[in-house]
Amino acid sequence: MSEQKHWADHQERGSFWLMKLTALAVKLLGRRLLSPILYGIVLYFFVFGKRARQSIWEYQRRLAVSSGLASLQPSLRSVFGQFMAFADALLDKLDVWNGRLRLEQIQIVDPANLRPAMRGARGQLLVGAHLGNLEVCRALAELGEKVTMNVLVHTRHAERFNRLLGEAGATNLRLVQVSELNPAVMLQLSERLDRGEWLAIAGDRVPLHGGRHVRVDFLGAPAAFPQGPWLLAGLLKCPLNLFFCLKQQGRYHVILEPFAEQVQWKRNDRDQVIAQWVGQYAKRLEHYCQQAPQQWFNFYPFWKADDHSQA
């Protein structure tokens, strides 16, 4: 067991209490009074969070090189801008929790007309990323489609988060802990799909305790991505689509994109097939990172293998 803690081990312990405190603060103070406080906290982490600062610098450098856009080369100003974009996304997340974000404030980009199929008798799997604000995508289920969205997470505190969501009035959104894909978990997820519910999972972070992962090219260098979403799609025999939510000109754009009608493999080629799907996902993630370069919120050394080792 590595003495160096995995990124998620630090995040998980504080994320629940941060959510609870910020939810309370926004009720007591409102967004206008809370904003300078939150920005002050983010400024503190920018100044003293050397590891996070260096990680964003590396991301911006790789994005600039891979895209060929010199304007994306990192600077202290652009790195700080990414921290501030994260603070802005947190405030928007609070608006979602408290019902202040209306459906008409969201533009849905669905060129393949996926939404009718997603309201079918059996649910589908949606794979997103820590790009933009997935909370707004979840609001789509709460406000627009009126279906239950099960957000698959690796946190040990899923039930606590669910209580907070319930207190905020989110009736169609539930977090489901999937630390391991055992038969009981798979049966539960299959039943939810059969009820027409959606499953949503991020595809750009390796779980807390290692888990199955594959290294594929991302922004010009190998990086570890989880196998979980693609394993789920294959085992559950359900379509898999991508979804992203980017803030552009002050308005959120929820992007739905078809990806895999079915993920299939044979016993002897499973890892190769999954690596191909993950590689395609990484390319789509690159595409959307170029559209919103400061909205990718992974503040840890993404390209270092030792940061994805088991805690």
Q: State the DSSP string of 209-254.
A: T--SEEEEEETTEEEEEESHHHHHHHHHT--EEEEEEEEETTEEEE
Per DSSP, the residues of the chain read --SSPPHHHHHHHHHHHHHHHHHHHHHHHHHHHHHHHHHHHHHHHHHH-HHHHHHHHHHHHHHHHHHT-GGG---HHHHHHHHHHHHHHHHHHHHHHTT---GGGEEEE-TT--HHHHTSSS--EEEE-SBB-HHHHHHIIIIII---EEEEE--TTHHHHHHHHHHTT-SSEEEEE-SS--HHHHHHHHHHHHTT-EEEEESS---TT--SEEEEEETTEEEEEESHHHHHHHHHT--EEEEEEEEETTEEEEEEEEEES-----TTTHHHHHHHHHHHHHHHHHHHHHHSTT-B---S-TT-GGGGS--
**Backbone region of residue 124 per phi and psi (left: phi > 0; alpha: psi in -120 to 50; beta: other values):** beta
Beta bridge partners of 252: 106, 247
Position 221 scores a pLDDT of 95
Residue with the two structure tokens 């991302």: 218
Positions of the chain with pLDDT under 70: 1-23, 25-27, 97-99, 103, 137-146, 154-181, 207-211, 305-311
Position 305 scores a pLDDT of 52
Residue type, 116: P
CA–CA distance, 184 with 212 (Å, rounded to integer): 19
Q: What are the structure tokens assigned to 32, written together?
A: 């206008």
Residue with the two structure tokens 């608006």: 95
Position 182 scores a pLDDT of 75
Position 276 scores a pLDDT of 95
Contact call for residues 138 and 103 (beta carbons, < 8 A): no
Task: Kindly report the length of the chain.
Answer: 311
Q: What are the structure tokens assigned to 227, written together?
A: 């196998």
Position 309 scores a pLDDT of 37
49-95 pLDDT, tens per residue? 899 999 999 999 999 999 999 999 999 999 999 999 988 887 787 77
Position 141 scores a pLDDT of 64
CA–CA distance, 27 with 268 (Å, rounded to integer): 54
Position 23 scores a pLDDT of 64
Position 39 scores a pLDDT of 82
CA–CA distance, 136 with 139 (Å, rounded to integer): 5
**Backbone region of residue 252 per phi and psi (left: phi > 0; alpha: psi in -120 to 50; beta: other values):** beta
CA–CA distance, 112 with 227 (Å, rounded to integer): 26
